[in-house]
Amino acid sequence: DGGITQSPKYLFRKEGQNVTLSCEQNLNHDAMYWYRQDPGQGLRLIYYSQIVNDFQKGDIAEGYSVSREKKESFPLTVTSAQKNPTAFYLCASKWGAHTDTQYFGPGTRLTVL
């Protein structure tokens, strides 16, 4: 089956630890995105990547880092510099530059204790 996978579904970490969230897609999409969602709110863009080995900051990139070494993978690291990391994190991908029909993964709920 084609799609986007995120793992794990739930993640717990202690304050001050870095944590990396996984995002993999087998849709052959060029662009990939990371969003953050807080309760009762819409999605906010953290980082995005249009092609391999290139990525751009979104609206709330501080305290996060990404890499795009392979087309299929776009991992997100939540660093200890992120002041309020507890949130629902969503990864998405899309094909082509002229559409914004983004396909989303199931999300990872990160809780920092």
Partner 1 sequence: DAKTTQPPSMDCAEGRAANLPCNHSTISGNEYVYWYRQIHSQGPQYIIHGLKNNETNEMASLIITEDRKSSTLILPHATLRDTAVYYCIVRVERGSNYQLIWGAGTKLIIKP
**Least CB distance from residue 101 to partner 1, whole Å?**
5
User: Among residues 72 and 79, whose Cβ is nearest to partner 1?
Assistant: 72
3-state helix, strand, coil in the chain (%, to 5): 0, 50, 50
User: Whole-angstrom Cα distance, residue 40 to residue 25?
Assistant: 27
Give dist(CA 2, CA 26) in Å, integer: 6
Q: How far apart are CA 23 and CA 48, in angstroms?
A: 12
- Closest distance between partner 1 and the C-beta of residue 35, in Å? 8
d(CA 81, CA 73): 23
88 near partner 1 (CB under 8 A): yes
The answer to the question of residue 48 lying near partner 1 (CB under 8 A) is yes
Q: Does 43 bind partner 1 (CB under 8 A)?
A: yes
- Least distance from C-beta 5 to partner 1, angstroms? 11
| Residue 42 is a binding residue for partner 1 (CB under 8 A) | yes
76 binds partner 1 (CB under 8 A): no
Residue with tokens 């999605």: 43
- The residues of the shown chain that bind partner 1, judged by CB under 8 A, are 4, 40-45, 48, 50, 56, 58, 88, 90, 92, 97, 100-107, 109
